[in-house]
């Protein structure tokens, strides 16, 4: 018959290692969330943000529509010579001010030309409603 004390004694090192690994994983996730939050600058919505910011489409010259864009996991930029960002790109590679970690997410100001399908994004700041 198996002695419960011996069973627990044999499992104790495995449980300790699993607990340490779990705590390190949770700490890493919390650290990443904190780091991303500090990289992003969020300001309140104000009509003055749009003042003097009417842009023509770079392709057809028509006025671009003003609006908002929510980028999901952030805007991950890669120079053309470096190739496209891969499927394993992560939040840490996103451009600053393109990820909102708030429950009611902030968004970036954007302009688009519907005819040419061109989108211009201002990632200087995130704007919350």
Give the residue from 78, 108, 110 showing the smallest Cα distance to 93.
78
pLDDT exceeds cutoff 80 at 31: yes
SS3 call for 36: helix
Structure tokens at 115: 């005819």
β-pair partners for 113: 118
What's the whole-model pTM score? 0.66
Give the mean pLDDT of 46-55. 92
The overall average pLDDT reported for the chain is 85
Give the mean pLDDT of 78-103. 83
Structure tokens at 84: 């496209």
Q: Where is pLDDT greater, at 18 or 49?
A: 49
* Tokens 């004390």 found at: 5
pLDDT level of residue 104 (50, 70, 90 thresholds): confident
Give the mean pLDDT of 91-117. 88
DSSP-assigned letter for residue 126: E
Query: Cβ distance 54 to 63 under 8 Å?
Result: yes
């Amino acid at each position: 018959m198996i002695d419960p004390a011996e069973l627990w004694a044999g499992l104790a090192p495995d449980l300790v290692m699993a607990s340490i690994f779990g705590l390190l994983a949770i700490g890493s996730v919390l650290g990443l969330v904190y780091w991303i939050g500090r990289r992003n600058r969020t300001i309140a919505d104000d009509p003055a943000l749009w003042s003097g910011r009417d842009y023509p489409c770079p392709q057809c010259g028509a006025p671009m529509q003003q609006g908002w864009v929510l980028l999901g996991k952030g805007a991950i930029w890669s120079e053309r010579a470096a190739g496209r960002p891969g499927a394993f790109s992560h939040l840490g590679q996103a451009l600053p001010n393109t990820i909102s970690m708030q429950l009611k997410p902030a968004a970036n100001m954007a302009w688009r030309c519907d005819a040419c399908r061109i989108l211009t994004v201002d990632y200087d700041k995130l704007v919350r409603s």
